[in-house]
Copies of this chain bind each other. A is one copy, B any other.
Amino acid sequence: MRLVIATCEVDYAGRLSAHLPKATRLLLVKNDGSVLVHSDSGSYKPLNWMSPPCTLIEKDDQWTVKAKSGDSLIITIHEIHSDTSHELGIDPGLTKDGVEAHLQELLAAHLDTIGPGLRLVRREYPTPIGPVDILARSSEGGTVAVEVKRVVEISAVEQLTRYLDLLNRDTKIAPVRGVLAGNVVKAQARTLATDRGIRCVVTDYDELRGLTDPTERLF
């Protein structure tokens, strides 16, 4: 990893065109060839960058970073204030816990939190337009399709509506009712869902996790 503090201008040409006027910035060159241009604020996203795989050619005061697609990043160096390199080695990577997949697992294991008498058919039930998060049989004989989201927004209502339209054409499982489950249900999503006869269930991730054997979740 190479770290350069430099006064520079940057021009990107690719899916769009972008220009950075002359200023002092951090140029971060990674071992995989990627280049990041960071300012001293903003967030984790660089002002400009080139993703790997790409090649960096330095010629006088001009750096040219090119990707196979033809995207190019041209950095004009006006002054270099610092230029250091460090050997980091490969990173063992990140382990995560708490994303939608886990909420889906927990809900599938505790279908009673969605409704009484439900029996799991399967998670990620495949359809031609994508997998339904949870499909379950109701004690009354019908089917329930559950769409799981950390935050239920209007797009989740649309998504589940598409699934329901399709699933209800299958006479082996129809009628299929819809349920949206999430830790947060946005007001507008709830309104649209209710209008379409879709029920919303507010889940509690911590509570659900408490119901499961805690030894399963340690890392």
A interface list, Cβ under 8 A from B: 1, 3, 5, 15-21, 23-26, 28, 30-32, 34, 36, 38-49, 51-52, 81-82, 84, 86-99, 150, 155, 158, 162, 219
CA distance A102 to B185 in the complex (A): 34
Inter-chain contact B90/A41, CB cutoff 8 Å: yes
* 16 A-B contact pairs sorted by A residue (CB < 8 Å): A3-B3, A5-B88, A16-B97, A19-B94, A26-B28, A26-B88, A30-B40, A32-B42, A34-B43, A39-B91, A40-B88, A41-B52, A43-B52, A44-B51, A82-B86, A155-B158
- Among residues of B, the one whose C-beta sits closest to the C-beta of A13 is B98
> In the complex, how many angstroms separate the beta carbon of A35 from the nearest chain B beta carbon?
9
> In the complex, how many angstroms separate the beta carbon of A153 from the nearest chain B beta carbon?
12
> In the complex, how many angstroms separate the beta carbon of A147 from the nearest chain B beta carbon?
14
- Other 8 A-B pairs with CB < 8 A, given A17-B96, A23-B88: A3-B26, A18-B95, A24-B88, A25-B88, A26-B86, A31-B40, A31-B41, A43-B49
